[in-house]
Each structure stands twice: as structure tokens, then as C-alpha cells.
Amino acid sequence: MLKIDLTGRRALVAGVADDGGFGFAIAKALAEAGASVCVGTWPPALNIFMNLLERGKMDESRRMSSGELLQFEKIYPLDAVYDRYDEIPEDVRTSKRYKDVGDCSIGGLAERLVADFGERPIDIVVHSLANGPEVKKPLLEVSRHGYLGAVSASAYSLVSMVQRFGPIMRDNGAFVSLTYMASERVIPGYGGGMSSAKAALESDTRTLAFEAGRKYGCRVNTISGGPFASRAASAIGIIEKMVEYVSANAPLTAKLTADEVGATAAFLCSPLASGITGNTVYVDKGYHAMGMAVQATDSAASSAS
């Protein structure tokens, strides 16, 4: 039987803070395939995430096909807008949610992984990170600070992670990130420079696939998931409308599930995908293939008759 087998591999999923998004679904899929899974969590969300785990509030979603609960090998604090500890401003370092977590930069996490698991501790890195401080603003109204903040948190963070995790990755390693169709088409309401950040993420995926492939022998791909009503996506403000629109107009009308994205990520990180790198893989029920809304097509046909 041909199956995804990640036994003996260690994955880091960066950007997990609850059980409602693609990051958690990917972590669970990797574990189902046999990988040990570490996660990186934004410090302001870390205590809440830990409390949910400890109080059993996520037990149902953590239940795996074997009946056992998904276990995280390590949970690390991670703020991916910082590459090194000395870049974290003093007022942030000493704030309530950061003062006890230590070095939560990308470089700090790489050092922690080496300290915990040895010189080459990782096989898989999942970038499930995105933030746009002005995401509800149209691009015409976005400040320079908001625009650069979106690109920094959502796109450059992947570059930084490949820089720092590539050298400590085992042979045949894999990076996977998450993008969205707003990178290539206008999605009114998806603002704050996030469309630009996703376009940068996809472009960087291709370039990093070449550079990191030659230098570290690893693969780099990104998944363009369809709209999904996660807690994080609620910040956009129109996510339910986006989900309904895609359901009405995609070739496959069933709404996208997080598990479908998780399964795709597990495949891309597995030996079965050893020849795939530099790609944007669409997991959106086929919506990316459509050039006209179904409603518009029906209306046009009626008027033509």
C-alpha cells in the first residue's frame, strides 16, 4: 500500500495557537503520518493555548485515528517578526507576555531546537504565519508601517526561517507555507497590504526553492488554501462571505475543510513529493480555475436567449 510515512521525522509547525486553523490541521496530519511535532506559538497567545491544552478543551480535536490524543513534542514561544533576540525592543521584552519566555525570535528558536534535539534536529518546517495590522483597510488607505508590517510578518518571516532552519535541517528536508489567491487576483476586503505579502510569499517560494535546494538540499512549496472561517481569519471581517461565495462558484461546491489542507501539507512534506519544489499548490475546491462567477454565467445565458 502506498501511504504517507513520516516515521522518525520531526516537524516544526510555526503559527499554532488554537485548534481551529490550518496550522493545527497540518500538525495533526503530520502526526497521523508518524512525525513528531513541535509547534511555535506567538507569546501573547501562549498562555491561552497552554491552558486550553491542560484543561482538556482541545481533546476532541486532538483525537487521532488511533484513538490517542495528538501530543506536541515541544511548544516554543515564537514571534516571527524578530530574527534575533537583540532586535526585540526593550519594552516588548519586559512586557507581561514576553518577560518569561526568553528568546522567542526565529534565530532563538533555531538555537533551542539544536539544544533540545542535537545538531540537525528538524526535517519539516511549516510556516503558518500571517498578520496585517491594517488588514481591514483598503490598500489606498494603508500606511507604510501597516504595509511593511504585513510583508514582514507574513512573507519575510519565511525567508528568515529558511535562512536559519535550512542549515540545521536533515537531508531531504521540506518547507511548506500557506498563501491565498489574493496574491494574484483582487479580493475586495482583503486589505492592509496582505495581498502584496502573499504575492511576495509565492515569489519567494520559487526563489528559495532554487537557493535552498542547491545549498541545503531541501524543498520549498506553498499551499494556496481557499477561504476558511478560522479564528485568525475572522480578523478580515468578511470571511463568512468569502466562504459562501467560493462554495457557490467553485467546481466542487462542498466547503473546504482544514483537514484537506492538512493532508496536502503532509503529502508535500513526505518522500512521495520528493520531486515537487517551488510550487504553489491550490487546495480551494478548484475555485482558482474559474474565470467567471456561476451566477454571472447563468444570467448571461438567460439574457442571450
pLDDT of residue 224: 97
Beta carbons within 8 Å of 133's beta carbon, 6+ residues apart: 145, 146, 149, 150, 192
Please give the DSSP secondary-structure letter assigned to residue 192.
T
Please, what are the domains in the chain?
A: 10-304 (3.40.50.720)
pLDDT in tens, 243-286: 899 999 999 999 999 999 999 999 999 999 999 999 999 999 99
Cell of 123: 526535517
Question: What residue spans of the chain are helical by DSSP H?
Answer: 22-32, 43-54, 59-62, 90-93, 106-117, 144-151, 157-165, 194-216, 239-249, 258-268, 294-304
Distance between CA atoms of 19 and 64, rounded to whole angstroms? 13
Q: How far from each other are the two terminal CA atoms of the chain, in whole angstroms?
A: 53
Task: Say if residues 35 and 11 touch (Cβ distance below 8 Å).
Answer: yes
Residue 105: the pLDDT is 98
Predicted pLDDT at 1: 82
| pLDDT score at 240 | 83
Active site residues: 180, 190
Task: Read off the pTM.
Answer: 0.93
| Cα distance between residue 160 and residue 155, in whole Å | 9
- Rg from Cα positions in the chain: 19
**Which of 83-87, 146-150, 231-235, 256-260 comes out lowest in average pLDDT?**
231-235
pLDDT digits (tens, 9 = 90+) for 28-60: 999 999 999 999 999 999 999 999 999 999 999
pLDDT band for 221, please (50, 70, 90 cuts).
very high
What average pLDDT does the structure give for the chain? Answer: 93
| Sequence-separated (6 or more) residues with CB below 8 Å from residue 291 | none
